[in-house]
Amino acid sequence: MDFLSDWVVGPNQQSVRIINVMDEGSRKAMWAEAHSSISARKLIEVLDNLVEVRGCHAYIRCDYGPAFTSHQLRQWANYHNVGLRHIQPGKPSQNGIIERLNKTLRVECLNQCWFTSLEELNDQL
């Protein structure tokens, strides 16, 4: 999983963060959701929704961002028996599958359309 940052336009131009989750085995995008910010608590909510819809996986690969190294995420992972595999700092190629998804999302969606609200963006994800 990884975050992608962008902007929505409109009367209240705001930054948004998109959480992308992808299955490494099948290389299928499993979840994408945009929020104005994604704290550890919001990340847990997203993962709970994902588990409800898609079930648990053996591990999650992510970088060393604050939400990904939080105590809350470690507790969630322990509760669900999910391993956390962090890539080395400064080595995004170690999570290349999700980086490719981020690029595709940016090139084929975010760079092609102007979204005026989070709701509009989430409808397209």
Task: Give the pTM.
Answer: 0.90
What percent of the chain shows pLDDT beyond 70? 100
Q: For the chain, which domains are there?
A: 2-124 (3.30.420.10)
Range 9-13 contact pairs with CB under 8 angstroms and sequence separation of 24 or more: 9/114, 9/115, 9/116, 10/116, 10/117
What pLDDT is stored for residue 79 in this prediction?
A: 97
Tens digits of per-residue pLDDT, 35-89? 999 999 999 999 999 999 999 999 999 999 999 999 999 999 999 999 999 999 9
| pLDDT at position 95 over 80 | yes
> Cα separation of 56 and 17, whole Å?
23
Q: CA-to-CA distance for 102 and 23, rounded, in angstroms?
A: 14
Give Cβ neighbours of residue 29 (< 8 Å, ≥ 6 apart): 20, 21, 22, 101
